[in-house]
């Protein structure tokens, strides 16, 4: 059996990995995390994917135990502004589309028409507009069928997600890392605050130990690279090549601000907002004490100083004294994320841009797959190959989904947005796009491997973006009675109205959680 795992790098990736491995294997595995106070973390990955609840469930953490400490808020959707044209808005919610007579309401909506697809077919957009919490004052979920049985979570993983859970979280990533560090050390993780001066390899090219400034040699059996875009172990030491996605995805830089805000006065939308700009898009993430915001852009179309000026103008006077954080993003993935006895997790493994909040998801998926493929002293190559296949497919699938956002957005009013229609698309996606021009995506026509997104997400994005709509509704619907479909549209309006009236505001509910009520 392997006895010692050494994680190099802290931050969200390092501490999510460390605490998950410790929870999975307990005292049968020694976990040491080495992090340097001299190396800053990116620290802006504040929006998440709905599957992140399984991570907290796995650690046995209830929301009241960690959310207040991390200034966390709920995220029910992503609000897309200006992607079709200036002034246009639609939501990508964590909500599956209902079906009527075997066809989704997206198919029926194309047949029957309506004011706005997302608000006509789904209830979450109304909750976001009204700034509602997804939980009633007593803590019960608004989707009562999904009620989690109380405040104490059960241990679960991504593979347990048979239903679409209706929300994710926003949180301060640096505070979450510190929260997990305290939790992890209390559960037996060894935390070493020190600089790694050198990484030593044996005659086979496997990592034998890292040399630190003050703690000397730290040896291990398995080494996990959580050093971010530097890829200290996987790229610099193991020399694993990095495969760029820049041919397909235009953005490679970001500038971020942390803007104080009075949430009592301003309220808190339970969603991330992605606002299309001339050379990219701006995220807006409401936390319980501030707004996290940033401009993601392509350096070929916008200089850093212009991006910062645009972001400050977008935020307004509240951004005047706030320090900007400029980030150069490495977009793509390693050819392999596991090489010999080194596994890269987080930014060191791969990254797309943060458009669908998948950064934390990639960390979670990486460590869950590591547990499923964990080796023994025989280091079976099939386990390594299976892990690399799963990670590569997941990242490539998210890449394809994000390419859809740009290729299918109707907006084409600036050089940047015109260029997004001219970039190449990954293999297989062009064929899918052709199929979707006749029939909306279903489980058989989207990217075929697990990447976190279901067919309903592709439907929502195509209908919201507006630049690649089916030429007409499905002919089959002309032969079916539409009474039940019309009743379902009416039911959505009634449910949404009733929920808006019954649910507390997000700010009110989170205040009660923070106060312990």
Give the per-residue pLDDT at 164: 85
Q: Are the C-beta atoms of 189 and 201 separated by less than 8 Å? A: no
Dihedral sign, Cα of residue 210, residue 215, residue 217, residue 221: negative
Mean pLDDT computed over every residue of the chain: 94
Q: What whole-number distance in Å separates Cα of residue 235 and Cα of residue 229?
A: 10
User: Band of the pLDDT at 161, cuts 50, 70, 90?
Assistant: low
Q: What whole-number distance in Å separates Cα of residue 115 and Cα of residue 489?
A: 11
Q: Average pLDDT, stretch 7-12?
A: 97
pLDDT at 153 over 80: no
Q: Are the C-beta atoms of 55 and 169 separated by less than 8 Å? A: no
Total-model pTM: 0.96
Percent of the chain clearing pLDDT 70 (strictly above) = 95
* Higher per-residue confidence, 351 vs 154: 351
Report helix, strand or coil for 447. coil
Q: Are the C-beta atoms of 58 and 223 separated by less than 8 Å? A: no
Which H or E run contains 19?
helix 11-25
Quick: pLDDT tens for 322-342: 999 999 999 999 999 999 999
Give the per-residue pLDDT at 266: 85
Catalytic residues: 75
* DSSP state at residue 446: S
pLDDT at 155 over 80: no
Q: Are the C-beta atoms of 450 and 397 separated by less than 8 Å? A: yes
Give the per-residue pLDDT at 313: 98
Q: What whole-number distance in Å separates Cα of residue 477 and Cα of residue 113?
A: 13
Residue 225 backbone phi and psi in degrees, to 5: -90, 110
Quick: pLDDT tens for 260-296: 988 878 889 999 999 999 999 999 999 999 999 999 9
Residue that is written with structure tokens 């530097």 in the block: 230
Smallest Cα–Cα separation from 79: which of 418, 293, 356, 267?
356
Give the per-residue pLDDT at 150: 46
Q: What HEC string does 140-190 produce?
A: CECCHHHCCCCCCCCCCCHHHCCCCCCCEEECCHHHHHHHHHHHHHHCCCE
Give the per-residue pLDDT at 265: 84
Q: What whole-number distance in Å separates Cα of residue 21 and Cα of residue 26?
A: 8
Q: Average pLDDT, stretch 15-33?
A: 98
Residue environment code for 27-62, b if the CB has 16+ CB neighbours within 10 A, otherwise e = eebbbbbbbbeeeebbbbbbbbbbbbbbbbbbbebb
> Which parts of 165-295 fold into alpha helices (H)?
173-186, 263-266
Q: Are the C-beta atoms of 12 and 176 separated by less than 8 Å? A: yes
How is residue 9 written in tokens?
């790098």
Give the per-residue pLDDT at 149: 45
pLDDT at 494 over 90: yes
Give the per-residue pLDDT at 37: 81
Q: Average pLDDT, stretch 469-484?
A: 97
Smallest Cα–Cα separation from 273: which of 293, 301, 249?
293
> Which parts of 211-276 fold into alpha helices (H)?
263-266
How is residue 189 written in tokens?
């993780």
Q: Are the C-beta atoms of 352 and 453 separated by less than 8 Å? A: no
User: Band of the pLDDT at 44, cuts 50, 70, 90?
Assistant: low
Give the per-residue pLDDT at 243: 98
Give the per-residue pLDDT at 163: 75
Phi-psi region of 104 (alpha: psi -120 to 50; beta: other; left: phi over 0): beta
Q: What whole-number distance in Å separates Cα of residue 20 and Cα of residue 273?
A: 30
How is residue 65 written in tokens?
């135990």
User: Band of the pLDDT at 513, cuts 50, 70, 90?
Assistant: confident
- Treating both helix axes as pointing N-terminal to C-terminal, what angle do 52-59 and 359-372 enclose, rounded to 10 degrees? 50
* DSSP state at residue 132: B
> Which parts of 287-442 fold into alpha helices (H)?
304-315, 359-372, 381-407, 415-420, 429-436
User: Band of the pLDDT at 41, cuts 50, 70, 90?
Assistant: low
Quick: pLDDT tens for 408-417: 999 999 999 9
Report helix, strand or coil for 293. strand
Give the per-residue pLDDT at 143: 83
Residue 361 backbone phi and psi in degrees, to 5: -60, -45
pLDDT at 45 over 60: no
Residue 378 backbone phi and psi in degrees, to 5: -85, -15
Q: What whole-number distance in Å separates Cα of residue 335 and Cα of residue 243?
A: 6
Q: Are the C-beta atoms of 300 and 272 separated by less than 8 Å? A: no
Residue environment code for 470-488, b if the CB has 16+ CB neighbours within 10 A, otherwise e = beebbeebeebebeebeeb
Residues 6 or more apart whose CB falls under 8 angstroms from that of 181 comprise: 10, 15, 33, 191
Q: What whole-number distance in Å separates Cα of residue 197 and Cα of residue 224?
A: 16
Q: What whole-number distance in Å separates Cα of residue 297 and Cα of residue 277?
A: 9
Q: Are the C-beta atoms of 506 and 132 separated by less than 8 Å? A: yes
């Amino acid at each position: 059996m392997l006895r010692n795992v050494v994680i190099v790098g802290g931050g969200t990736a390092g501490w999510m990995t460390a605490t998950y491995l410790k929870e999975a294997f307990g005292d049968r595995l020694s976990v040491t995390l080495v992090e340097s106070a001299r190396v800053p973390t990116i620290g802006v990955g504040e929006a998440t994917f709905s599957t992140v609840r399984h991570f907290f469930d796995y650690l046995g953490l209830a929301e009241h135990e960690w959310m207040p400490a991390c200034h966390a808020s709920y995220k029910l959707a992503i609000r897309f502004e200006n992607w079709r044209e200036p002034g246009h808005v639609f939501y990508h919610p964590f909500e599956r589309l209902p079906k009527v007579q075997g066809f989704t309401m997206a198919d029926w909506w194309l047949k029957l028409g309506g004011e706005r697809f997302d608000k006509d077919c789904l209830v979450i957009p109304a909750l976001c507009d009204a700034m509602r919490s997804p939980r009633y004052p007593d803590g019960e979920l608004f989707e009562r069928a999904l009620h989690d049985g109380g405040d104490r979570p059960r241990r679960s993983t991504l593979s347990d997600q048979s239903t679409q859970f209706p929300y994710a979280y926003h949180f301060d990533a640096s505070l979450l890392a510190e929260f997990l560090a305290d939790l992890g050390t209390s559960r037996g993780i060894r935390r070493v605050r020190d600089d790694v001066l050198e990484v030593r390899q044996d005659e086979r090219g496997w990592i034998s130990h890292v040399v630190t400034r003050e703690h000397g040699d730290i040896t291990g059996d398995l080494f996990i690279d959580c050093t971010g875009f530097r890829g200290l172990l996987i790229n610099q030491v193991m020399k694993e090549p990095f495969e760029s996605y820049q041919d397909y995805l235009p953005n490679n830089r970001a500038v971020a601000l942390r803007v104080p805000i009075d949430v009592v006065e301003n309220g808190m939308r339970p969603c991330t907002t992605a606002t299309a700009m001339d050379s990219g898009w701006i995220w807006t993430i409401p936390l319980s004490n501030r707004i996290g915001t940033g401009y993601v852009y392509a350096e070929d179309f916008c200089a850093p100083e212009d991006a910062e000026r645009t972001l400050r103008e977008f935020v307004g006077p509240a951004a005047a004294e706030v320090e900007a954080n400029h980030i150069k993003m490495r977009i793509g993935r390693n050819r392999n994320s596991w090489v010999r006895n080194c596994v890269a997790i987080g930014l060191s493994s791969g990254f797309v841009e943060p458009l669908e909040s998948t950064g934390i998801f990639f960390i979670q998926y990486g460590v869950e797959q590591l547990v499923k493929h964990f080796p023994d002293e025989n280091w079976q190559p099939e386990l390594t190959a299976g892990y690399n296949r799963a990670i590569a497919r997941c990242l490539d699938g998210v890449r394809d989904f994000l390419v859809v956002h740009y290729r299918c957005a109707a907006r084409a009013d600036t050089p940047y947005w015109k260029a997004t229609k001219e970039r190449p698309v990954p293999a297989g996606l062009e064929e899918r796009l052709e199929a979707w021009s006749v029939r909306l995506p279903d489980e058989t026509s989207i990217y075929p491997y697990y990447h976190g997104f279901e067919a309903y997400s592709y439907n929502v994005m195509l209908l919201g973006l507006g630049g690649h709509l089916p030429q007409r509704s499905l002919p089959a619907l002309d032969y079916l009675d539409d009474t039940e479909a019309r009743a379902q549209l009416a039911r959505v309006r009634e449910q949404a109205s009733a929920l808006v009236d019954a649910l507390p505001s997000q700010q009110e509910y989170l205040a009660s959680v923070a106060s312990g009520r």
